[in-house]
Amino acid sequence: STQSHGVAELVMKQGSPTDKVTICVTGPLSNIAYCVKKYGKQFTDNVEAVVIMGGAVDVHGNVYVGLEKEDQSTAEWNIYWDAPSAKTVLECPDLKNVVFALDATNSVPVTSEFVRRFGQQVEGSILSDFIGSSWAMCTHFMAVYGAAHSYYAWDALTAAWVVRQNIVDSLEKVPIRVVLSTDSAKEEGRTKRLTVEEAAEAKI
């Protein structure tokens, strides 16, 4: 696709093995997978890291398609939307992937208390007013749809880490495998934590 070509061109023109590019992805991994498959190491050698909002490793997912109960969910939407592409990227040995899964983003709910803090900042701050007003529209999710449908700063946390990595205490190295529908239709898109033995066998 044109978008996929654009990602590849940007990385291969602006990046190099000595001046690599960091890619932040807050949606499905289709474009990155395309680049990995088409260009291989010509692409991956120029990438410092792919920072991804997606996945649910040790927590429930937020995809409820075909499930009788919400607590049966194991997949997160960005991964589920194009699970084969996610598998290509997350299991690529030539890419460093930094993943902000629901395990991390569940700690940053957008609550009314949080939103009010924007209004308490310097009077006349247009940016604070805009962000506070935008997120204020999201705080009713839990009241209307239940706790499982609360709104979180999914993409904001992921993007903020790219700019300021000290916002998190530490990162955990976790070998994962993306489950496809051919493995289990009900678990498609699940980002499954592998044991040490499974990771060694899969060379992840």
Angle (CA) 175-181-184 rounded to 5° is: 75
User: What three-state secondary structure class fits 98?
Assistant: strand
pLDDT value of residue 144: 65
Angle (CA) 79-111-119 rounded to 5° is: 125
Q: CA-CA distance, 104 to 85, in Å (whole number)?
A: 22
Report pLDDT digits (tens) over 159-199. Answer: 999 999 999 999 999 999 999 987 666 789 999 999 888 88
pLDDT band, residue 6 (cuts 50/70/90): confident
Q: CA-CA distance, 198 to 132, in Å (whole number)?
A: 45
